Amino acid sequence: MRKLFLMTIIVLTAMAALVAFAGDHPEATEATEATEATEATEATALPEDITIDACADTKAAVEFPHKAHFEYATCVDCHHTSEGLTAETAADMEVATCMSCHLEPEEAETPKCSEKSTKKNPYHINCIGCHKTYLKEHEDSSAPKKCAACHPKPAE
């Protein structure tokens, strides 16, 4: 577990270094532009922050600091159908989005992202479930559990 964590840090640091390097060279030639395109693909493969909005209807879209969460759970804890997914294997795997199964689920019992209930929405079960457990032991934690903390009220 500790080894895996260290590997994750090493991989993330390497990626950050690559991105920083690309950023330092705006006067890129065609050849480096091609390299940047490859890096961009890698960056998309492991998104840093994600706006979850495929179901946003009555509530505002939710900002999710994805990479920050690599510290709190394994990839498979959340990507529960992606067997063998780790920061290392991600580049060689197709990672199905939650939405591909939870937007219009085949089975009526499968949690659906348009649900308001804490027990029927896959994100409410996953996100709020973990935050509540964590808050029990870390009272000063910033893990959000109030509606408006995840669905900010739109400015009027």
Name the residues that contact ligand HEC, by CB under 6 A.
Answer: 45-47, 50, 52-59, 61-62, 64-66, 69-70, 72-73, 75, 77-81, 85, 87, 90, 95-102, 110-111, 113-114, 116, 121-128, 130-131, 134, 138, 141-147, 149-151
C-beta closer to ligand HEC: residue 25 or 119:
119
Return the number of the residue (39 or 69) whose C-beta is nearest ligand HEC. 69
CB count within 10 Å of CB 122 equals: 20
Nearest Cα to Cα of residue 95 among 111, 81, 74, 115: 81
Do 22 and 39 form a contact (C-beta atoms < 8 A)? Answer: yes
- Closer to ligand HEC at the Cβ: 32 or 81? 81
Please name the residues in contact with 14: beta carbons below 8 A apart, sequence gap of 6 or more.
Answer: none
Number of neighbours of residue 20 by Cβ within 10 angstroms: 9
Give the shortest CB-20-to-ligand HEC separation in angstroms. Answer: 20
